Structure 1
Amino acid sequence: MAERRNDPQVYPLSQSYNYSTDFNVKRDEESAFRKQDEIHRNYNASLNVTRDEGSDSIESDEIRRKKRLKFLAYFVAFVVFQTGVIVLFSLTVMKIKTPKFRVRSITFDHFEVRTAPNPSFNFIASVEVGVKNKNFGTYKFQESKMYFSYDGMPIGEAFVPDGKAGWLSTKKLKNLATVLLSNNLPSNSQLGNDLNSGVLKLNAQSQLSGKVTLTFMFKKKKSTNLNCNITIGLADKAVREIDCN
């Protein structure tokens, strides 16, 4: 009987696992993930930059718009202010007003009154007049005469010299001598009654011609009139009232 041999059974060897290849694959995958993550972050960053740039651009446009509006507001305010100044200047400074010519006072150096038999009066007086200039420029006037009357009849006159009234001031002309006589009055006048009443009313009229000069360049002719009613108290030999129109 043949001897049975116990030879060991031979199994085929399985293929060995390649660890190096698997490591490389994982490394590549991780690298790819990192690249994708980096790309994603860069994309988000670029979006943020774009948003910031857009926001900055909008803010810059808004700032420029506000500056333009502010400049326009300043310009309009300046134009309105200049217009107001010009209008105010035209209505005040450049508007030429007529000077006022008035009798300021009268004093008597000689005072004589008769009531009978022939009513009469004889006055030697010193008159002070004023030329009030309300303009922002000088008023230069020529010489003139002032005429006195009683009941519309002339009784005397006074010489008014030339002169100049400064801007916004009054030029006073003093000691204008005059003689007031009733010799030329008609016999049927009311003089006797007025003298007996103790009050005598006279009238003074005159006119000045001259020029107003503004800012040393603009000149305009201006005439001013004097028309004053004078009330004289015969008892106290003085002027009681001067009323000028």
Structure 2
Amino acid sequence: MAGKENQSPHPLVPGPANGTYVRTGDDEAGRGGSRELRRQKRKKYLLYFVAFVIFQTGVILIFTMTIMKVRTPRFRVRSATFDAFNVSRQPNNRTFDISMNAQVGVKNANFGRYKYQGTTMTFLYRGSQVGEGVIQKSSVGWRSTKKFNVAVQLTSDNFTSDSQLAADLNANILRLTSQAELKGKVALTFIFNKKKSAKMNCTMDVFLTTEQLANISCD
């Protein structure tokens, strides 16, 4: 009885070397531990792979929503100076003839250069065109603003309402509107170009007594 009680549940079997013996239970336990270790490694590698996929997806989403998102450039009149300022308030000769240098800005908020074609900027007074200026073909660097001057000759020759002109000249304020459209492309990469047009629609006041441009407002 005592011999049976002391007998190990895992009998000895010949080992790989002559004269050595190992218990079968120990061998099975070793194989089970090895399988568990491999399973843990596979689980760890799977977690690493999932984390990498999530990270890459986040990077792609951020890249798409920020860098690759194409925004419409802003195009507006910023200020102006005057070379000649001729205004007549005579009852039979109410006119204005003004040489203006309008400073124009094109703001490009994209992560790529904006290349635009040449165009014409028109100035309106009470719905009638009173002047225009030529904008040359050019480009704006990524996330930057290009400023340049446009020479414009403002004249009342095409305006027919003498009473309205008389009232504005007496008030020493001319309310003008500037309109233009830039057509171009945003070059995000060497092969990816997106067409974008920037429209200008600004209102402004020319103060006749001080010869200044003020109250500029653009849509």
Same fold (TM over 0.5): yes
Q: Distance in 2 between matches of 1:198 and 1:52?
A: 105
| AA partner of residue 184 (structure 1) | N
Structure with more of its chain in helix, by fraction: 1
Structural RMSD (CA): 2.3
Aligned partner of 1:105 in structure 2 is 79
1:117-144 C-alpha deviation (Å, 9 max, x unpaired): 1332211011111111111111111111
Sequence identity, in percent?
46
- 1:158 aligned residue (113, 123, 133): 133
Q: Distance in 1 between matches of 2:35 and 2:8?
A: 28
Q: Distance in 2 between matches of 1:202 and 1:179?
A: 13
Aligned partner of 1:218 in structure 2 is 192
2:99 touches 2:151 (CA, 8 Å); kept in 1? yes
Distance 1:232 1:49, change over 3 A: farther
1:199-239 C-alpha deviation (Å, 9 max, x unpaired): 22101101111122121111222211111111122221101
Gaps of 5+ in 2: 14-21
Q: Distance in 2 between matches of 1:169 and 1:161?
A: 18
1:46-88 C-alpha deviation (Å, 9 max, x unpaired): 3983333333333222222221111111111111111111122
| AA partner of residue 137 (structure 2) | D
Q: State the shift of 1:189 in Å.
A: 4.7
- 1:62 aligned residue (36, 40, 56): 36
Larger Rg: 1 or 2? 1
| AA partner of residue 214 (structure 2) | R
Structure with more of its chain in strand, by fraction: 2
Q: State the shift of 1:43 in Å.
A: 7.5
| AA partner of residue 161 (structure 1) | Q
Aligned partner of 2:24 in structure 1 is 50
Q: State the shift of 1:115 in Å.
A: 2.7
Match of 2:185, SS? strand
Aligned partner of 1:167 in structure 2 is 142
Q: State the shift of 1:42 in Å.
A: 8.1
Q: Distance in 1 between matches of 2:31 and 2:87?
A: 101
Distance 1:177 1:44, change over 3 A: closer
2:109 touches 2:144 (CA, 8 Å); kept in 1? yes
Q: Distance in 2 between matches of 1:219 and 1:95?
A: 12
Gaps of 5+ in 1: 1-35
Q: State the shift of 1:114 in Å.
A: 2.6
TM-score (norm 2): 0.85
Q: State the shift of 1:146 in Å.
A: 0.4
2:105 touches 2:147 (CA, 8 Å); kept in 1? yes
Aligned partner of 2:95 in structure 1 is 120
- 2:168 aligned residue (170, 177, 194): 194
Distance 1:81 1:156, change over 3 A: same
- 2:46 aligned residue (72, 78, 83): 72
Aligned partner of 2:153 in structure 1 is 179
Q: Distance in 2 between matches of 1:160 and 1:146?
A: 7
Count of aligned residue pairs for this structure pair: 207
